[in-house]
Structure 1
């Protein structure tokens, strides 16, 4: 079943209906004033032909034509303001709706939708939608008004000649219907190709340092050119359809002019119509040619807008996998008592369990360490706490409330999450830290800087905490980005802190300093830390070791060392490596 095209913007169109109605009224007045002029010129020619045209009547015709020209210009200005400006407002609100909806979608959506494609929808496609509701609406109304009124005036002069004009009209209609379907299909292919090109450009620019490091500029250029050539090819296919449609419509429309010139001239010779009427008839025919030609533009414009709106609708139709229940609990402050009971989890696209039968209890003020081989499910486990993904079996509680019953806003507001990828915005260090708490003062930021051991690094920055870090924090080292991200999490003072390998790029000395500071300030906070480097979590109240989604070992550091299993072997290995590095450093010094 086909869904209504305007389903997501119907309310916006209703909101702006009076703007469009007023604009249509001004456009109608413009066309009426425009259509009176040929009749006045025809009368003037007839009086001139009879030799009865006086200076007074000439001045009257001139003044009337001037007044009509001024009124036409004034009302043309008004309809442009009402319709074109409204289309811009409509575009802005659709873009806002689109961006707002994107932020509600679950992480899984962004795993298969590329950034470049989503950007293309918000720019190129939305531009086509705007044109549909701007000049598309104008041309449609103008075609209806000007076409209908022109035919009315033509009939008033000569019904017989008007009948001859109608001969090519069915052919024009068939031409427009045929090429309209082709245009819609080809324009959608163009937009898809443009999205792929945008995505390639965004990906290459974002990864330019990797491209340069591996000397792959030529290879990336070749891939970009392939995408650009594909876009060019599809655009040429689209232009060919346009290029054939418009000349065909113009040819058929010009047949009407030839018929009128031949048959109308005979009518003048026979004395059936006057010379002035013949001139007026040709003027009206000229005005009618525009709507006949504009039909092609209308179809082209609406097919492009329709194709783009369909693509935008596909995103707006997406339903978030994770959303609040109708009776979600809005609890402002949580204590941070976390419980996993026999939790099973797998990603929607995976047939295999990522986590199996996980049971954990984390009391406020306790420190849980998590380690295990790569791909063992560590990140997936902590991602379940702020409900970035839904579990399939079992239950997760916070303060004895199932997290599925908690409002997402309040749940996530009580969790400070530092993911593996320490993403920073292209802004100052200060604004990145106060991202979750905009009213944070500079003094409070400096306190956080001290906790994450960023004081010495700050001296190297030209403007201290007000230094712009560049896109994705590109001007900072990996360790500096991680520490800014940790400060950002601490800024909201949440009862639950989750660090997903957030100290991996920090040296051992700085790591120890940060951990000591964290252990001092965490008080009643639940602290969960994932780490490959076991020195980060050896002071944890409990450590769990994951392997292939299952807990294979658990206990504090001493207990796990006595077990002599995976944890003990990895700890001894890292201890030897650390000792060798220390000796190497001493030798160099």
Structure 2
């Protein structure tokens, strides 16, 4: 069953209905004024042909034509402002709706939808939709108004000649229908190809450091050129369809002119119509040729807009996997008591369990450390707390409330989350820190910078906290990015603070300083830290070791060392490595 094309924007279209109605009215007036001119010219020619045209009559015709030209220009301006400006407003609102919807979608959607494709929808596709509601509407109305009124005036001059014009019309209709389907299909392929090209460009630019590091500029250029060539080929196929459609329509419309010239000339010779009427008839025919040709443009424009809107609708049709439950609880401040009860979890579209039967708790003021081999599910575990993913079995509670019953907004406002990839925006250090709390003062920012041991680094930045960090924080080291990300999380003073291996890029001295500060702050916070470097979680109240989706060891540092299991073995290994590095540094110094 085909879904309505305008299902996501019908409210917006209804909102602008009067703009389009008044625009259509001004367009109708413009067409009427255009159509009066040939009648006046024909009247003047007849009087001239009879030798009865006076200077006064000529002056009246001149003034009337001038007035009509001025009125046509004025109303043409009005319909442009009503229709074309409204299409721009409509485009802006669709783009806002699209962007807003993207932010509601669950993380899993972005795992399989490429960034470049989503960008193409918000730019190239939306441009095609705008054109459909701008010149597409104009040409459609103009075709209807100008075509209908031209035929009315043509019939008033000579019904017989008007019939000759109608001969090619069925062929024009068939041509438009045939090429319209081809245009729709080929334009969709063009948009798909453009999305792939955009995605490749975005990916290469984002990973330019890796490209340069591995000297792969030529290889990346080759891949880009391949996609650019594919886009070119698909555009050429589309142009071929247009190339056949428009000349065919113009040729068929041209037959009307030939018929009128031949048979209309005979009518003048026979005295059935006057020379003025013949000239006026040809002028109206010239005006009618435009609607005939415009039909092709209308179909082309609407097929392009339809194909693009269908692609945008596919994203707007997406329903978030994770959303608020009916009557969700809106609690401004949580205490931060976290409980996992027999939790089972696997990713959407996967059959393998990431966790099986996980139970744990973290009380406010306590510090939970998490470690384990690569791929053991550490990140997945902490991602369940802010409901970035939902569990399949068991229950996760905060303050004895199932998190599925908590409002997503308030749940996440109470969690400071620092992921492995410390993403920074292309903005100042200060604005990155105050991202979740825009009213944060500079004084508060400096306190946070002290907490994350960034004071010394700050002295090296040209503009201090107002230094622009570049896209994704490209001008900073990994450790600096991590510390700014931690400061951003601390800025909201959350009752739950989660650091996912967020100290991996800092040196041992800085690590120790930051941990001391965090442990002082944890008095009213549930602190969860994932770490591969065990010195980071050595002071934790409880440490859990994950492996193959299960907790294989748990306890504080001393207890785990006595177990002589995975944790103890890893700790001893890291201790030896640390001593060797210290001895090497002493030798070098």
- TM-score relative to the length of structure 2: 1.00
Equivalent residue of 2:198, what SS?
Answer: helix
Q: 2:217 maps to what in 1? A: 217
Measured after TM superposition, the shift of residue 249 of structure 1 is: 0.1
Query: Is the 2:497–2:525 contact (alpha carbons within 8 Å) kept by the matching residues of 1?
Result: yes
Q: Distance in 2 between matches of 1:342 and 1:169?
A: 73
> Residue 237 of structure 2 corresponds to which residue in structure 1?
237
Residue 123 of structure 2 corresponds to which residue in structure 1? Answer: 123
2:78 is matched with 78
Aligned to 2:338: 338
1:523 is paired with a residue whose SS is helix
Instruction: Output aligned runs, 1:295-374, within 5 Å.
Output: 295-374=295-374
1:201 and 2:209 aligned: no
Deviations 1:3-51 (A, max 9, x none): 0000000000000000000000000000000000000000000000000
Q: Structure 1: how far apart are the matches of 2:354 and 2:240? A: 51
1:41-96 CA-to-partner distances (Å, cap 9, x unmatched) read 00000000000000000101111000000000000000000000000000000000
- Looking at structure 2, the residues matched to 520 and 463 of structure 1 have their Cα atoms a distance apart, in angstroms, of 30
Counterpart secondary structure, 2:461: coil
SS at match of 1:522: helix
Residue 277 of structure 2 corresponds to 277
Moved more, 270-279 or 343-352: 343-352
CA distance in 1, matches of 2:342, 2:155: 83
Write the distance in 1 (CA, Å) between the matches of 2:461 and 2:523.
32
What is the 5 A alignment of 1:100-499? 100-499=100-499
CA shift digits 1:294-353 (9 cap, x unpaired): 000000000000000000000000000000011100000000000000000001121100
CA apart distance, 1:2: 0.4
SS of the residue corresponding to residue 410 of structure 2 reads helix
Give yes or no for the alignment of 1:29 onto 2:51.
Answer: no
User: Is 2:190–2:234's contact at 8 Å kept on the other side of the alignment?
Assistant: yes
Q: Distance in 1 between matches of 2:135 and 2:361?
A: 62
Aligned to 1:558: 558
C-alpha distance in 1 between matches for 2:244 and 2:204: 37
Structure 1 gap segments, 5+ residues each: none
Task: Name the CA distance, whole Å, in 1 between partners of 2:134 and 2:227.
Answer: 30
Mapped contact 2:367–2:522 kept (Cα < 8 A): no
Task: Identify the residue that residue 97 of structure 2 maps to in structure 1.
Answer: 97
| Secondary structure at the counterpart of residue 358 of structure 1 | strand
In angstroms, what is the RMSD of aligned CA positions? 0.4
Residue of structure 1 in register with 2:88 after alignment: 88
Per-residue CA distance 1:224-247 (angstroms, 9 max, x = gap): 000000000000000000000000
Number of the residue aligned with 2:519: 519
- Name the residue aligned to 1:540: 540
What secondary structure is seen at the aligned counterpart in 1 of 2:460?
A: coil
The CA distance in 2 between the partners of 1:296 and 1:550, in whole Å, is 65
List per-residue Cα deviations over 1:523-565 (Å, max 9, x = no partner): 1100000000000001000000000111000000000000000
Count of residues paired in the alignment: 589
Contact 2:346 2:391 in 1 (8 A): yes
DSSP-derived class of the 2:524 partner:
coil
**Aligned with 1:351: secondary structure?**
coil
The secondary structure found in structure 2 opposite 1:459 is: helix
Q: Distance between the aligned counterparts of 2:553 and 2:474, measured in 1?
A: 38
Unaligned runs of 5+ in 2: none
CA distance in structure 1 between the partners assigned to 2:38 and 2:436 by the alignment: 67
Matches for 1:494-505 after TM superposition, within 5 Å = 494-505=494-505
Q: Which aligned runs of 4 or more in structure 1 are off by greater than 3 angstroms?
A: none
SS of structure 1 residue aligned to 2:523 = coil
Measure the CA separation in 2 of the matches of 1:524 and 1:459. Answer: 32
| CA shift digits 1:119-170 (9 cap, x unpaired) | 0000000000000000000000000000000000000000000001000000
